[in-house]
Amino acid sequence: MENLALIDSFSEFKDDKLIDRVTLMAILEDVFRSALKKKYGDDDNFDIIINPDKGDLEIWRNRIVVADGKVEEPNQEISLSDAQKIEPDFEVGEDVSEEVKLEQLGRRSILALRQNLISKIHEHDNTNVYKQFKELVGEIYTAEVHHIRHRAIILLDDDGNEIILPKDKQIPSDFFRKGDNVRGIIESVDLKGNKPTIIMSRATPLFLEKLFEQEIPEVFDGLITVKKVVRIPGEKAKVAVDSYDDRIDPVGACVGMKGSRIHGIVRELGNENIDVINFTNNIQLFITRALSPARITSIKLDEENKRAEVILKPEEVSKAIGRGGHNIRLAGYLTGYEIDVLREGAEEDVELSEFSDEIEDWIIKEFEKIGLDTAKSVLEYDLKDLVKRTDLEEETIQSVINILKEEFEE
């Protein structure tokens, strides 16, 4: 029949997207009623009968028989002579039901109708995808690399849904080829022009937390709680864990024998260095643990301003700061305290900020980024080490060293 192409479109989506029967019938009826309203001005007197299982559809127009020459509303009324062409025994005042064939709507209307049907089903499908992924926000999801762009990787899941992994949501060492499976956190889902935009992230601390849940049974079962996770993606992370069962060693359970349990997580994150530490409400002890592997001599807290002054032996300072200042920075994120590192016997040391008249602020900030915020902390390193550890030119660093040396030679 003439509505076959239209019903074929409908059947394609029914099979592919598994739209339920009631929804499909509602979409079809809505599309046809829009077309009837456009053609006849009103659709109140039309009956639409849909059989989605057979791919069949009928449209019937109901009108009242009036005497010849008395038709005022052609969509609502039919003349007696026209009614008797349908059934010879019709009389004035009776109701006439007449089937409307799709060709009566016109070729252009049929093409528009088909397009409208496809659009409506797409819209419904997109809404369902949006709802599905909205519930998955914050959960680990796996999809396959479909296309690699400069600023993002486009992934497809088993249902053909497109997921975007932007460059800034990737771990710096990530390298994927087409066809690779990628795990990450569904970070956000937005509807843009009725199309869901699904963003995945592998750089968020939540990804590491969820990997702990997946890979460590005690975390999954709730015997161990992940209290806080901080990360510099691809470089270093610190995870504070706790257990309400004194018989369980939360750090040992997470790391496993010779690191066996955490090894898979480290590999997933591009060999990110992960420190697992015991959580405690004792902030001094927590800061001490957070600065591991450095050994702290003493700590002075300023709880009101959330600052901690940490005293260490000179040989422990570099451990506390870590490569690129990562260790001290993450310890600060984890504990919520700004941590200042001081060396034992450094009472006569001078803050770098005191040299702002001679050294530009941006240069001082470059040293502070790697945890060097006093004159002696800079002078403890030789020139070549400072060039490697900072983004400063050798000539600039030498100039700073000369200024600082003059302070102690006076």
Report the pLDDT averaged over residues 12-19.
52
CATH 1.10.4010.10 assigned to domain 204-279? The reply is no
Q: How far apart are CA 205 and CA 330, in angstroms?
A: 12
The highest-confidence range among 100-104, 127-131, 183-187, 260-264, by mean pLDDT, is 183-187
Of the pLDDT bands very low, low, confident and very high (cuts 50, 70, 90), residue 313 is confident
Which pLDDT score, from 0 to 100, does residue 1 have?
38
Q: How far apart are CA 36 and CA 42, in angstroms?
A: 7
Q: How far apart are CA 5 and CA 168, in angstroms?
A: 46
**Class for the domain spanning 4-131:** alpha beta
Is it the case that residue 18 has pLDDT exceeding 60?
no
Specify the higher pLDDT residue, 126 or 80: 80
Which pLDDT score, from 0 to 100, does residue 4 have?
45
Which pLDDT score, from 0 to 100, does residue 2 have?
45
Is it the case that residue 154 has pLDDT exceeding 60?
yes
Taking only the tens place, the pLDDT of each residue in 332-368 is: 999 999 998 887 765 567 778 878 888 898 998 888 8
204-279 matches 4-131 in CATH topology: no
Long-range contacts of the stretch 296-302 (C-beta < 8 A, 24+): 296/320, 297/344, 301/337
Which pLDDT score, from 0 to 100, does residue 227 have?
96
Taking only the tens place, the pLDDT of each residue in 64-111 is: 888 988 888 888 888 888 888 888 888 888 888 888 877 666 666 666
Rounded (10°) angle between helices 21-40 and 107-134: 140
What is the domain partition of the chain in residue ranges?
Answer: 4-131, 136-202, 204-279
CATH assignment, 136-202: 2.40.50.140
Site of tokens 């992960």? 274
Is it the case that residue 35 has pLDDT exceeding 70?
yes
Average pLDDT of the chain is 85
Q: How far apart are CA 96 and CA 172, in angstroms?
A: 73
